[in-house]
Structure 1
């Protein structure tokens, strides 16, 4: 049932994924669902746990950077497959086993690599804010590929009045360049991710010295 619920949410979004919609998809009466879950919140807990089960867990060891990068890329990919899940991944009051294991693995990777508790929390917070924020922006921009982004940029460019070139030269430059080469989500995500990981690596000794 949980797999079916995830499939419905992938298709119609989380607002459209009602108990009635799910029961129709399964070919049962709505009350039959309550033999398996107590309520919709219970169902959402299970659905979110399925998404977490798709995220690569970072391994413990000295190479924390590669593991954090792998985990971050995997989380973004999972959010791309299940866009409804963004906003639900961190707020479950009764997280399931995959959810708990994923968070424990992330903290374990950092702590086993010598991160202090506070530094591990800083790193986790910064990475997750970046991943969820990027995935949310990705969901809202209205295109999927670099080629599609180029077409959208050309449309925006053509709709601008002639005066825009003088009023907003740097913005127009960005639109013109995007209309040529497009915006590649994966390239931009991984570029920003590397910047963030480089920053953690550089600031980590300072945080430890400052007791942060």
Structure 2
């Protein structure tokens, strides 16, 4: 009897069947590792070890993949915010909402390409609506009228989900210190106030963020400013 070899064991290992969930998780991992531009049907097929045509049994096309990865990200956000420890909204609505938003932000910091995909979708995901419904629930429990809660959503915008669209994003990506310095030198004569502001604001950010000027301190500063302003309006009965 011929002895079994490691190769025989490897050959007999059952292949993990493809599923929509597996394809979408692979898409997220591919975008995390190589960037959103790398997310093509061909690359995704290679990622799951299948032929490109096999993917179409689970996702109709790349747009369906992008819709699906939004679902994955929003699922992570739901899990993150459900696990947040914070006061009840009746006790401290600001702390409750702040904790929820910062938990959602942590998800986007893990998937820095995700805001771009979320904003590109033509149809609003039910999961996004459900998330904002909970934001309104917190505001209502904190004493907001529907009218003020509506205005609060407009003020918060995407910040309620944990990300913002920054004004200054050279090349749509992070810019090295030397490149930023050269850019500002070229702009100094024409836009002295903007350059002066940016020169004062630039700082080391080794971990990277969601935007050129969007580090955690700046995000939280703006969030707190909004929440404090909304509380003043709520207390005044506006």
Contact 1:45 1:92 (C-alpha < 8 Å) held by counterparts: no
Report what 1:10 is aligned to.
32
- Please give the alpha-carbon distance, in whole angstroms, between the structure 1 residues aligned to 2:200 and 2:172: 21
Deviation at 1:51, TM superposition (A): 1.2
Report what 1:21 is aligned to.
43
The alpha-carbon distance between structure 1 residues 174 and 186, as it changes in their structure 2 partners (threshold 3 A), is same
The alpha-carbon distance between structure 1 residues 190 and 42, as it changes in their structure 2 partners (threshold 3 A), is same
Deviation at 1:54, TM superposition (A): 2.7
Question: Are residue 199 (structure 1) and residue 229 (structure 2) matched?
Answer: yes
Output the aligned Cα RMSD: 3.6
Question: Are residue 93 (structure 1) and residue 123 (structure 2) matched?
Answer: yes
Deviations 1:43-73 (A, max 9, x none): 2222112212232437752222112222322
Report what 1:57 is aligned to.
81
- Please give the alpha-carbon distance, in whole angstroms, between the structure 2 residues aligned to 1:37 and 1:154: 44
Deviations 1:75-131 (A, max 9, x none): 3333333233224436463736x5454233222212222222232222123212443
Matches within 5 A, 1:118-129: 118-129=147-158
Deviation at 1:172, TM superposition (A): 5.1
The higher-RCO structure (CA 8 Å, 6+ apart) is 1
Deviation at 1:15, TM superposition (A): 4.2
Question: Are residue 112 (structure 1) and residue 141 (structure 2) matched?
Answer: yes
Q: Which has the higher helix share?
A: 1
Contact 2:81 2:104 (C-alpha < 8 Å) held by counterparts: no
Matches within 5 A, 1:147-166: 154-156=181-183, 159-160=185-186, 164=189
Structure with greater Cα Rg: 2
Report what 2:132 is aligned to.
103
Q: Which runs of 5+ in 2 are unaligned?
A: 1-22, 206-212
Report what 1:67 is aligned to.
96
Deviations 1:142-192 (A, max 9, x none): 24xxxx65x5554446x459x84xx76544543553467787711111111
